[in-house]
Structure formats: structure tokens, C-alpha cells
Amino acid sequence: MALTNNRVDVPVIVDESKCLDKCKACIEVCPLDVLVKNPDTGKAYMKYDECWFCLPCEKECPTGAITVQIPFLLR
Amino acid sequence: MKYNKSLQSEIDLLDEEVQEMVEMLSSDDEGDRLVAAVNLQQECDEDTIPFLIHALEDPSSSVQLIAVTTLWEMANAKAVLPLLECINSKRDKKVSDEACSALKELINQDHLLKLLDYLESDDELQIIYVLILLRKIHDVQALPSISPYLSSENKNIRKEAVITLRYLNQLTHFTPANTLADDPDQEVRKETMLTLGNFREGCIVPILCNSLANDESWEVRRNAAIALEMHGDNSSSKSLSSAISDSHWQVRKFSMRALTKVLSEEYLGEIVKLLCDDYSDVRKEAAIALGLLGSKKAIPSLKQSLDDADIEVRIQSQKALEKLNV
């Protein structure tokens, strides 16, 4: 899978101010394992630019820190 | 939120990994408690139920919400009474809604008396939730407790109470519900019509006919037509034959459908006119009715409907003509 170059221009956007350091809910539920924790900040981010837009990461996040931007044609 | 002594002693019986999460669930930091609640949700371990019940009293509504969802997923009867404590206006609306959804799946006949206790409350939101939950049990023993809420000042309570009535087994009539057909609130009248459709009492058909003819809301008139279809009473045929010329197409459609149960050749002219209605649903019902009526006078009109723009109307016209041996 291709690594992401820019953490803003990806489908899964993580609001770092809301993301909890110890929580791994989004990482556990992602079927493609594309979300990981940044070891420096402890916040989740999208490491690989691959997404099925299945949305459990957004739904399971206890603080609502994740937004999945679904492409217009898939809405 | 620290655990009491009995819960503390239960922690030692848990797996090491779960123990860590349960201890984190009583942390002072809200973030830690959220993480612990999410982790316990993923573990879905029945031994953690007492701790999740304890988390229902957490100061954070997000933690409470996850605890409610987890208890719902575990579907254990132990959670019913603690979840009942969550359906009131003191809680966050999201938590109460989630708890009510969970209880819809978890409650059974054994919880009837407890629910009736919760119904006697000053909290209007709690009353509404309990009235909704009583539909799951549908026991007629709840009637005396529901009855006072039919005259509540809160229109939402009146609405939920009258809806709940139609879920009660063996309830064939209940006169206080009849007066709600003239309620000032449209939503209450709308639901009352459907409830009256389920009752079997002589005075109900005239009430429904009156609403069908005179109510200002088309939704109430439509529901009155649906209720009259459930009754299938010959005395309603006059009102239904007038209602098939109503200004709203849904009222015409459901009145036409109700009229098929009490058909008479004297309404042939009015029914044939509906074959030219602007709405295909109405035309379809008219074609079905003409087939059931079995009058040869309808044949030319039905033959014209074979060219209708809507395929369903064409199919029903064809079937009607087959019934008339054409």
C-alpha cells in the first residue's frame, strides 16, 4: 500500500486535539490496518493511502475525533 | 469514581489485562475512563458487567454512552434495572435514547411491575420512554397505569399513551381513547385514528367517519380511512364513498381501499371516475375495486385503463377484466 505523503489530503482526518493517547479503537476496527499511532505525539493518523470508506473508525471513536471524507461519487 | 468494597474484591478475580482496564475505568482522568470503556466494549467480557453498570453513573456522558452500548451488546438481564435508571431527563438525551433502545431488546414480561413503578413519575421524558417500552410487553394489565396519561397536558405523552393502547393484547375497547379523536393536537388525532382501528366497539365507526369527513388534516383523514378498512363496517360505506373525492390523493387512495370491503353497485359511478385520477395509486385501487364489484357497466372504462401510463394500473385493469370474463 502507498504511504501517505500529506496527512491533510487523506480520507481519514484525525482531530489531534480530541484524539486520546491511550485509545486504539480506530486502529482495532480498521479492516485495512491503515491507521497507526504517531509514536511522537501518541495520536492516530492514516499511514497508508487506502480506504474502503466503511466508517467504523469514525463511529467507534469515543471522542468524535475522526472524520471520513467520502468521495462525492460514493455518497 | 472509586469502586465500593464488593467491586474492589471482584477486580482480583478478573484477567490481568481486564483488571488493568477496569482500574482505568475508575481513573480521575476522563480520557483514561473513555479509553477503558472502549476497551471493555471490545473485550465484551461478562465478568465486567458490574463495572460497566458502575460506569453508568460516570460524570462524563460519553463514558455513560459507551457503557450503555456495551451492556446492550452483552444483552444480560442484570443490566435492565440499571438501564431503567438512565431513561430520564437528568441524563444526556443521547444516553437516554441509547438506554431506551437497549431496553427495547432486553425487557420482558418479568419487568412489567418495575416499568409501571417507573411510569409513576413527574419526569415527562421518563414517562414517554416507559410508555414506549410497555409496547414491547403489550400486557393489558398496564391499562390502568396508562389511562391517566391520555389526558396529560403534554401532547407528546398523550400521543405515546394512545399509541401504546393499540399494542395491548385483548384490548377491544376503551372509551377514554375515543375522546382523543377531537384532540387539539394533530399528531395525537393521527395516532388515535389508528388505535381506534384496532378497537371493536359500536360507537367507533361513527367517530372515524366524522374524522374522515371533517378533520382539517389530510393525515388524520387518511388514518381514519385506514382504520375504517380495518373495521370493514357497512355503515361506513356512505362516508367512504364521499371521501374518495377528497382533495388529497392519499385520502382518496385509502378510502378507495377501505370501500372495497363494503362495496355496493350504487358507488359504481364515483369509482369509475377515479380511473382518471391524477395519481396512479388511486387509479390502481379503483381498478381493483371494479374487479371486485363485478359490474359489466365498468368494462368500457377498464378497457380504456389497459392503456394507462402506469404498468400496475394496466395489470390490475387486466385482472379486473378477467374477473368479469372479458
Domain boundaries along the sequence of chain A: 12-69
pLDDT at B254: 96
Quick check: B38 and A21 CB within 8 A?
A: no
Quick check: B35 and A63 CB within 8 A?
A: no
Is the minimum CB–CB distance between A46 and chain B shorter than 8 Å? no
* Res. B214: pLDDT tops 90: yes
Quick check: B34 and A63 CB within 8 A?
A: yes
* Res. A2: pLDDT tops 80: no
**Closest among B68, B35, B72, B71 to A28, alpha carbons compared:** B35
pLDDT at A36: 94
Give chain B positions within 8 Å (CB) of A25: 38, 42
pLDDT at B55: 93
Q: What is the mean pLDDT of residues B215-220?
A: 96
pLDDT at B326: 76
Q: What is the mean pLDDT of residues B229-242?
A: 93
- Ranking B199-203, B243-247, B315-319 by mean pLDDT, the lowest is B199-203
Q: What is the mean pLDDT of residues B319-324?
A: 92
Which CA distances in Å does B221 have to A3, A27, B232, B261?
61, 53, 16, 18
Partner residue opposite B42 with nearest CB, options A21, A28, A63 = A28
B8 min Cα distance to partner chain A (Å): 23
Q: What is the mean pLDDT of residues B297-312?
A: 93
B37 min Cα distance to partner chain A (Å): 9
Q: What is the mean pLDDT of residues B49-76?
A: 93
Which CA distances in Å does B210 have to B195, B240, B248?
16, 11, 17
Give chain A positions within 8 Å (CB) of B35: 20, 22-23, 62
Quick check: B42 and A22 CB within 8 A?
A: no
Show Cβ contacts of residue B292 under 8 Å, excluding neighbours closer than 6 positions: B260, B263, B323
B105-131 pLDDT per residue, tens = 999 999 999 999 999 999 999 999 999
- Using pLDDT thresholds of 50, 70 and 90, give the confidence band for residue B263: confident
Give chain A positions within 8 Å (CB) of B70: none
Q: What number does CATH give the domain B1-106?
A: 1.25.10.10
Contact B158, B191 (CB under 8 A): no
A12-58 pLDDT per residue, tens = 999 999 999 989 999 999 999 999 999 999 999 999 989 999 999 99
Give the largest Cα separation in chain A, rounded: 36
Question: How many A/B residue pairs have CB atoms within 8 Å?
Answer: 23
Residue percentage of chain B with pLDDT more than 70: 100
- Backbone CA torsion sign across A49, A50, A51, A56: negative
pLDDT at A5: 59
pLDDT at B201: 86
B157-180 pLDDT per residue, tens = 999 999 999 999 989 989 999 999
Q: Which fold has domain B267-326?
A: Leucine-rich Repeat Variant (1.25.10)
pLDDT at A72: 84
In this structure, what C-alpha cell is assigned to residue A9?
Answer: 489530503
Q: What number does CATH give the domain A12-69?
A: 3.30.70.20
Give chain B positions within 8 Å (CB) of A63: 34, 62
- Using pLDDT thresholds of 50, 70 and 90, give the confidence band for residue B3: confident
The DSSP result for B249-276, as a single string, is HHHHHHHHHHHGGG--GGGHHHHHHHTT
Quick check: A62 and B66 CB within 8 A?
A: yes
Length of chain B: 326
pLDDT at A6: 58
DSSP 8-state assignment for residue A39 = T
**Closest among B168, B323, B167, B171 to B260, alpha carbons compared:** B323
- Using pLDDT thresholds of 50, 70 and 90, give the confidence band for residue B255: very high
Is the minimum CB–CB distance between A20 and chain B shorter than 8 Å? yes
pLDDT at B44: 86
Q: What is the mean pLDDT of chain B?
A: 92
Per the listing, cell 409501571 goes with: B116
pLDDT at B43: 86
The residues spanned by each domain of chain B are 1-106, 267-326
